[in-house]
Amino acid sequence: MREEIQRIQQAMEGEGYVTDRSVATAVHLSMTLGKPLLVEGHPGVGKTEIAKVLATVQQGDLIRLQCYEGLDATTALYEWNYPKQLLHIRLQQDGDRSIAAREADIFSERFLLKRPLLAAITHEGRPPVLLIDEVDRADEEFEAFLLEVLSDFQVTIPEVGTVRAAARPSVVLTSNRARDLSDALRRRCLYLWIDYPSLEKELRIVRTRIPGIDERLAREVTAFIHSLRRMKLAKVPGVAESLDWAQALVALHATHLDEELVRETLGCFLKDEEDLRTVSARLDAGELAALSSSVA
Amino acid sequence: MTAPSADLVEHTARFCRRLRAHGLPLGPGDTLDATRALGSVDLVDREDVRLALRATLLKRVEDSPVFDALFDSFWGGPVPVPRNPPVVPPDAEEERESPASASQRKRTLESWQELEELAVPAPSSREALGRQDFESFGDDELRAVTALARRIARRLSARPGRRWKLSRRGEQVSLRRTLREALKTGGELSTLTYRRRKLRRTRLVILADVSGSMDLYARLLLQFLYALQNAFSRVETFVFATRLSRVTDELRTPGYREALGHLSERVQDWSGGTRIGESLSSFVASWPRLVDRRTVVVVLSDGWETGDPEVLGEALAVLHRRAGRLVWLNPLLGSPGYEPLTRGMQAALPHIDVFAPANDLASLEQLARHLSL
């Protein structure tokens, strides 16, 4: 393994992010090739976390753009601060400066509200990490706009001119696959698919993130969640759910799983009524031991 | 980063070509990226090479098995297990007949046209009409079908979306624009600018099976397609038996009988065998721009597939990913005791959002509910 990749993996582990070679390699390549990294995977497998950890490792700032349907260029890029401009005009009204000078004044950077994309481009100091979260939630129009920005990291603001990134930010895009992203966007990015972790890896994650957890409890929790992932559920619990649940159990001073405890805390990892019923039925059938043993 | 050797570049390019031949969407830029990526990993480490190529050349996880198999065979490693050859079903022989000859095709269509002219007393109420199966359908129901198509078109017509656009009269004052305007007048708010929600338009793509096994229903379904095509402008209609034909323009002809005439010229495989999978794959390949998130795709078929069900599954998976909704209408679903056990239907079910009957007017009436996104 290349030394740099190893270093990235160690640095990420050092930040409490349990990872593997494929993640470290993708991050390394994204940095050396200067291409955005598109991370896909089921909800709750730690996609967003990659960007956060990357920012810490690079000692840069994290700039986050949360996508949603209807997100448009003004919310993502920039907006003039109109109220402030108006106020400024009023205050200057009696001055004898020329109109051109006044205009240049109010369309200067002071009156520019930088939204995440512009903030990432104009960022000074160490290049930041730009996280474009859940890009699958934005619509196709926004995706096209994003392509433009990501291809040359420059933006033209009519009143100011073209703003170019001094240092290209590292870009991480995440997608839950609510819809298929365009081939054009995919082509622009390196690709990383994060699957649910193996039992051992998840156990490591739980131990790392919840240091005080009882060893037996950690093993039973991960095994139980793994059994659930093999069942047909509407909302399959991710790693985030394992962690939530383990955290809750630790708060309840549990050292192992018992039926009552599981029933009381089902809501930590099951977010669908139908799923609750399915799993309760399995508990009724006395399957707790089978579900929470790792040799299933 | 070390400069890659000419050999490596050549080898990588060959690998990319191989991937492309297996359907991975790669361009020349990707080859370049792959080579650069190889320059920044440890080339003696096979896993490093695999992960580097994977990050640059794999664009979606679905292609992962193909990538892994090709990587192993190309860069040395375990011999890939060949995919199971498609098993020919016992009943395939009789169904895989050659497409109906032209004269036969014409006869089928002519018989529909004749039926068109027979005067059958109109059922008194819509319910009575609705309950009849298409197979026993009377003939002046074209009017009823047209009315239904209009109702569906109304459901499909534009609804307000989430984006805003400026308009002279609107539901809200656009503060941004108004203040922008006010700058011209020295900060005096003289004119208000409004904005309103941009309309969201749904599009409909219909893929109708006109193979032999659908003959019983085809006549009324055709009427339905015809009526829908003429009631609503954002419909694209395709028919298929063994291959796919786009019939949007043919159906848009004024006059149902003229439309049928055009259809018989256009479509070569009426009442032929069924290759749903191949037909849908060719739709996916030839009309990629037609389906996006605002598109409802309706497949109208009984699911009697004589081709490879795996091909059908793959094509539907792609459609399901791209479309806003994927609806499968199966005329057989209306008959009591029907279960979708055919291999075609089994392959299709995991990928469809709505599985509904289409054997009578009442069931088509239900369809309207599934069509607005």
- CA pair distance B66, B24, nearest whole angstrom: 9
Statement to judge: residues A127 and A22 lie in one domain: yes
**Number of domains within chain A:** 2
Is A28's Cβ below 8 Å from some Cβ in B?
Answer: yes
- Alpha carbon distance B35, B26 (integer Å): 14
A172 and A243 part of one domain: no
Q: Report the residue from B29, B51, B59 with minimal CB separation from A21.
A: B51
- Residues A169-224 have pLDDT tens digits of 999 999 998 778 888 899 999 999 999 999 999 999 999 999 989 999 999 999 99
Pairwise CB contact (< 8 Å): B33 & A106 = no
Q: What is the DSSP string of B308-337?
A: -HHHHHHHHHHHHHHSSEEEEEEGGGGSTT
Q: Distance between CA A259 and CA A268 in Å, rounded?
A: 15
pLDDT of residue A190: 95
Q: Give domain B92-155+202-371's CATH number out of 3.90.25.10, 3.40.50.410, 2.60.120.470, 1.10.10.10.
A: 3.40.50.410
Segments in chain B forming alpha helices (H): 6-21, 28-39, 46-57, 64-74, 92-95, 102-117, 126-131, 142-156, 175-184, 215-231, 248-251, 256-266, 276-286, 309-322, 343-348, 361-371
Which of chain A's residues have a Cβ under 8 Å away from the Cβ of B45? 1-2
Residues A245 and A123 in one domain: no
Pairing of strands A190-194, B159-167: unpaired
- Is A23 within a domain? yes
pLDDT given at position B4:
63
Q: Taking chain B (373 residues) in consecutive chunks of 10 residues, what is each chunk's mean pLDDT?
A: 73 92 88 92 90 94 91 69 38 38 48 39 35 47 80 76 79 81 77 83 88 78 85 88 88 83 79 85 88 89 86 91 89 81 86 86 79 73
Determine contact: A209 vs chain B, CB below 8 A. Answer: no
CA distances to B270, B303, B331, B335 from A188, rounded to whole Å, are 44, 38, 44, 50
Residue B139 pLDDT: 54
Segment among A2-6, A43-47, A259-263, B150-154 with least mean pLDDT: B150-154
**A252 inside 8 A of chain B by CB:** no
Instruction: State residue A295's pLDDT score.
Output: 55
A2 contacts B45? CB cut-off 8 A: yes
Which of A2, A8, A103, A195 is the best residue to mutate to test the B interface, defined by the most B CB atoms within 10 Å of its own CB?
Answer: A2
pLDDT category, A294, cuts 50, 70, 90? low
Residues 6+ apart with CB under 8 A from B366: B356
* A171 and A270 together in one domain: no
Domain boundary residue among A143, A164, A194? A194
Distance CA A8, CA B118 (A): 79
Clarify whether residues A236 and A168 are in a common domain: no
Residue of A47, A193, A195, A232 to mutate, testing the B interface (most B Cβ within 10 Å of its Cβ): A193
pTM over 0.90: no
Tokens of A129: 């990490």
pLDDT at A65: 96
pLDDT for res A193: 95
Q: What is the pLDDT of residue A95?
A: 67
Tell me, yes or no, whether A127 and A180 share the same domain. Answer: yes
* A70/B162 touch (CB, cutoff 8 Å), yes or no: yes
Q: Please check whether residue A285 lies inside any domain of the structure.
A: yes
> Is residue A151 one of the residues assigned to a domain?
yes
3-state secondary structure of B86: coil
CA B13 to CA B4: how far, in whole Å?
12
* Residues A124 and A267 placed together within one structural domain of the fold: no
Tokens linked to B3: 């400069």
Task: Taking residues A101-119, report their average pLDDT.
Answer: 88
SS3 B65: helix
A154 and A63, same domain (yes or no): yes
Name which of A85, A187, A190 is nearest B55 (Cβ-Cβ).
Answer: A190
User: Is A179 inside any structural domain?
Assistant: yes
User: For position A8, which CATH number holds?
Assistant: 3.40.50.300
Nearest to A33 among B37, B162, B176 (CB): B37
**For A21-43, what is the mean pLDDT?**
93
Among the three residues A194, A210, A231, which one is the final residue of a domain in this structure? A194
Are residues A137 and A233 both part of a single domain? no
**Residue ending a domain, choose from A194, A222, A241:** A194
Could you tell me which residue, B208 or A101, shows the higher pLDDT?
B208
Q: Which domain holds residue A247?
A: 199-291
* A236-268: pLDDT as tens digits: 999 999 999 999 999 999 999 999 999 999 999
Q: Based on the domain organization, do A71 and A134 belong to the same domain?
A: yes
Q: Which residue of A has its CA nearest to B54?
A: A191
